[in-house]
Chain A
């Protein structure tokens, strides 16, 4: 039997970690992730899990310990945010290239400088090309559900790649919400036992991870990572299907809301999607044909599926919580990738980008409403007046 609990996003993640009962967790405190690992430390101390809990001296060491443990054949988890993730950067690539199925809870926070502890997505966007799978979560429930699924996705023999599960720093990580917690036994049965294929500690069959690999085979190893990424989308959907059936949920690659008959749509990830949904309902009451698409899977990027889902629209507004500095029009990464996807899949729809909420600046319903009203105007005229708008910034 599942039960409903009042939990913060971080406590929900820690609960999922307790139920998954990983072999090793290595982490370093950083706001706003800290309470996840701290709660988990209690579980370790109280003997509720069998986990080897390693308190390291930096995030660089945290990810290094994770890679070592994972290569040894352990089921490994960690959590971090912002500069912590940035400090892990070197080892993130090594985790992916060594095909270590590590699962990380990433609580999105703005990168320094200036120093800021509040939410934006500049941290995760920095690891777009690292070889990690990246999934977004709107609230504590999704962070909890995604984390459980992530273990299965990461460890699938056709994938064997690390997974980062994102949620918004403070906005959901510290907000107390109603979260359905499934039965411990059900979660354990769902994630199953991890059977590493090539554990370092199998002394009968010695192996090596990550040795010198020049122009002879390095390229082939990268090509294999591509193959794993190609498999990942199918595996994510298979795992979601099983999860949905078992726990009565509805996960896919993304979540459309009132999109079917919509003329314009906003694309926005994580917690802001919740605010946007309210705006959609309000505008629908006025008779306006508006919809919403909330991305769940960002890596691998489901280009074709997104293009299909958006092909009937007259205007698309993307909302980005980070900037890809110096990229086309200094737009956000979500916009850039989506624009490329639609163009390559033959979907001709006017698009605009709205950068918002950097460094935790609040985003309010009336601001999202403005985005919709802009998009409705674009739908009418067929012309985008301004490609990139920075919402509620002093200029």
Chain B
């Protein structure tokens, strides 16, 4: 009870609840849970609100920065990481949290996603993966499972989905983790770790959309879809001893990679320093 009261105060300190509420998310949506996890993670790290920026693109998740009292920017579809890259280059000391949906991060913004990872720029990318374009009405996205019905695939989807975490690992991110909106403490822990990483950190938060994709596929109500996240997921450790067949269709949770590799803005500063030394050397010899 006491803990709950404390938490509600935590949220009030970080939300623009008196100005911007009610939020636009459907009752039962998982995005609010991700937002709660981000707020508690930031609070736990004792960061100054003014040192945190939250950047988003377009879509249901794209609305998130509207509700928080950080430095916020609501940008265009797919370009959240591009805007955030600009911000990080100018203010490398800032904690820049980029929130995106699966359509936003992997389809229209897929290029920015892999290159931000390759470059290892110090951004925290949180991808809320609800497997669809929810806001526009349940069109299939790059993470929609094969066979699922979508408004643009009324007889079943035939394209392979992107595994977001594995994609981020392959693209070279410094930190990659996956959890779900059911495993909210775990999610919060991963987000906190991601924020502290020097380099590009990705947290995939698997969620659901009961309003569009869930309804189309008769996956049940929000609590039922939530239960599926619980029952249908395994930890990385459990997955190690499972066969490919057993792992099929399972959500694998855990930290996929955590490595120390040079962060981009630091490398950039170093190159400037080197170039300046060289010019001053030339001036001296002249």
Q: Which residues of B contact A130 (CB under 8 A)?
A: none
Interface 1/0 per residue, A7-36 and B, CB below 8 Å: 000000000000000000000111100110
Q: Which residues of B contact A87 (CB under 8 A)?
A: 76-77
Q: In the complex, what distance in Å separates the CA atom of A34 from the CA atom of B133?
A: 11
Q: How far is the CB of A56 from chain B (nearest CB, A)?
A: 8
A29 touches B136 (CB 8 A): yes
> Is A393 positioned at the interface, with any CB of B under 8 Å from its CB?
no
A83 touches B152 (CB 8 A): no
A30 touches B136 (CB 8 A): yes
Contact A55 B76, CB 8 Å, known A34-B137, A38-B137, A38-B139 = no
Closest to B157 in A: A55
A83 touches B137 (CB 8 A): no
A34 touches B154 (CB 8 A): no
Q: How far is the CB of B112 from chain A (nearest CB, A)?
A: 11
Contact of A41 among B75, B78, B152 (CB under 8 A): B152
Q: Which residues of A contact B78 (CB under 8 A)?
A: 58
Q: How far is the CB of B71 from chain A (nearest CB, A)?
A: 16
B107 touches A83 (CB 8 A): no
B108 touches A58 (CB 8 A): yes
Q: Which residues of A contact B172 (CB under 8 A)?
A: none
Interface 1/0 per residue, A39-57 and B, CB below 8 Å: 0011001100000010101
Contact of B154 among A29, A42, A57 (CB under 8 A): A42
Q: In the complex, what distance in Å separates the CA atom of A29 from the CA atom of B152?
A: 10
Q: How far is the CB of A78 from chain B (nearest CB, A)?
A: 14
A83 touches B154 (CB 8 A): no
B77 touches A83 (CB 8 A): yes
Closest to B136 in A: A29
Q: Which residues of B contact A55 (CB under 8 A)?
A: 139-140, 152
A29 touches B108 (CB 8 A): no
A58 touches B107 (CB 8 A): yes
Within A150-173, the residues touching B (CB, 8 Å) are: none
A31 touches B152 (CB 8 A): no
B152 touches A57 (CB 8 A): no
Contact A29 B110, CB 8 Å, known A38-B152, A55-B140, A58-B78 = no
Within B98-143, the residues touching A (CB, 8 Å) are: 107-108, 110, 133, 135-137, 139-140, 142
> Is A244 positioned at the interface, with any CB of B under 8 Å from its CB?
no
Q: In the complex, what distance in Å separates the CA atom of A31 from the CA atom of B24?
A: 15
A28 touches B108 (CB 8 A): yes
Closest to B79 in A: A87
A29 touches B137 (CB 8 A): yes
Within A97-115, the residues touching B (CB, 8 Å) are: 112-115
Give the number of A-B contacts (CB < 8 Å): 51
Interface 1/0 per residue, B69-93 and A, CB below 8 Å: 0000011111000000000000000
> Is B58 positioned at the interface, with any CB of A under 8 Å from its CB?
yes
Q: Which residues of A contact B140 (CB under 8 A)?
A: 55
Interface 1/0 per residue, A83-96 and B, CB below 8 Å: 10001000000000
Q: How far is the CB of B201 from chain A (nearest CB, A)?
A: 24
Interface 1/0 per residue, B132-174 and A, CB below 8 Å: 0101110110100000000111110000000000000000000
Closest to A33 in B: B136
Q: Which residues of B contact A45 (CB under 8 A)?
A: 153-155
Q: Which residues of B contact A53 (CB under 8 A)?
A: 152
Q: In the complex, what distance in Å separates the CA atom of A45 from the CA atom of B149?
A: 12
Contact A35 B108, CB 8 Å, known A57-B142, A83-B76 = no
Q: In the complex, what distance in Å separates the CA atom of A97 from the CA atom of B78?
A: 28
Q: Which residues of B contact A46 (CB under 8 A)?
A: 154
Contact of A31 among B107, B110, B135 (CB under 8 A): B135
Closest to B155 in A: A45
B108 touches A57 (CB 8 A): yes
Q: In the complex, what distance in Å separates the CA atom of A112 from the CA atom of B107?
A: 20
A29 touches B76 (CB 8 A): no
Q: Which residues of A contact B137 (CB under 8 A)?
A: 29, 34-35, 38
Contact of B151 among A28, A30, A38, A115 (CB under 8 A): A38
A41 touches B154 (CB 8 A): yes
Q: How far is the CB of B156 from chain A (nearest CB, A)?
A: 9
Closest to B108 in A: A58
A29 touches B107 (CB 8 A): no
Contact A115 B108, CB 8 Å, known A29-B139, A38-B151, A57-B142 = no
Q: In the complex, what distance in Å separates the CA atom of A37 from the CA atom of B137?
A: 11
Closest to B77 in A: A83
Closest to B135 in A: A31
Q: Which residues of A contact B75 (CB under 8 A)?
A: 113
A115 touches B58 (CB 8 A): yes
Q: Which residues of A contact B154 (CB under 8 A)?
A: 41-42, 45-46
For the complex of A and B, 9 pairs with smallest distance between CB atoms = A57-B107, A29-B136, A58-B108, A45-B154, A34-B136, A41-B152, A29-B139, A38-B151, A55-B152
Binding site for B on A (CB under 8 A): 28-31, 34-35, 37-38, 41-42, 45-46, 53, 55, 57-58, 83, 87, 112-115
Binding site for A on B (CB under 8 A): 58, 74-78, 107-108, 110, 133, 135-137, 139-140, 142, 151-155
Listed by A's residue number, 8 A-B pairs whose Cβ atoms lie within 8 Å are A29-B136, A38-B137, A41-B152, A45-B153, A57-B142, A58-B77, A58-B107, A87-B77
Given A57-B110, A57-B142, A114-B74: 14 more A-B contacts, CB < 8 Å:
A30-B77, A34-B137, A34-B139, A38-B152, A41-B153, A42-B154, A45-B154, A46-B154, A53-B152, A55-B140, A55-B152, A57-B107, A87-B76, A113-B74
